[in-house]
Amino acid sequence: MKLASIVFLIITLAAYEISASEIVEHRPISYPYVASVERSERIKNSYEKIQAGMTPEQVKQLIGEPDQTRPMWDRNIFKAKQVGYFHWFIIQRKSDKGSQNDRGEKLVQVSYDLNWRVFRVDHWGFDERKR
C-alpha cells in the first residue's frame, strides 16, 4: 500500500511540473499583484457576456488580454492528454505559490476546447453581485 501511495505521489508531482512549465504569461506579473481599477472593472463587468463558442479574439474584445494561458489536461493521470486551454484573467493574486486561499486569488477563468472555442467560464474570489 505504501508503494502505491509513493508511486501516485511521484506521478502527481511529475504531472504538476509538466503542466506548470507550460504556463504562458502574457505580461510580467510581480507579486502581490492587483489589476488596475480599469482592468478589474472591465473583467468583472463583462465576463458574464462571454458565451459558448466564442473565439479568444472575441473574448479579448470583451475583457482584454489574458494574463496567463494554461493547457487543460484530462483527469486520467496514467493516459493524460491535452483536451483544451484555459485563459486566466487575474484581478488579484497575493502570491504565485500555495492554495487558492493562500494566493488570495480573484480571477476569471475561460475554458476553451482544442479548437479554441469557449465552453465554460468560471470565476472565484469575488461575488458577482458585489462588483
pLDDT value at 129 more than 70: no
Task: State the pLDDT at residue 94.
Answer: 92
* Mean pLDDT along residues 46-58: 97
108 bridge partner residues: 89, 123
To the nearest 10 degrees (0 to 180), the angle between helices 56-63 and 37-46 is 120
Answer yes or no: CATH 3.40.50.850 is held by domain 2-130. no
Confidence of residue 2 (pLDDT cuts 50, 70, 90): low
- Model pLDDT for residues 73-123, shown as the tens digit of each residue: 988 777 788 999 999 999 999 988 888 788 889 999 999 999 999 999 999
pLDDT of residue 61: 97
Q: Is the pLDDT of residue 15 over 80?
A: no
Q: Which of 101, 108, 96 is nearest to 33 (CA)?
A: 96
25-42 pLDDT, tens per residue?
777 788 899 999 999 999
Q: Regarding predicted confidence, which is higher, 93 or 131? A: 93
64-76 residue pLDDT tens? 999 999 999 988 7
Q: What pLDDT score does 131 carry?
A: 45
Nearest to 57 by CA among 116, 17, 105: 116
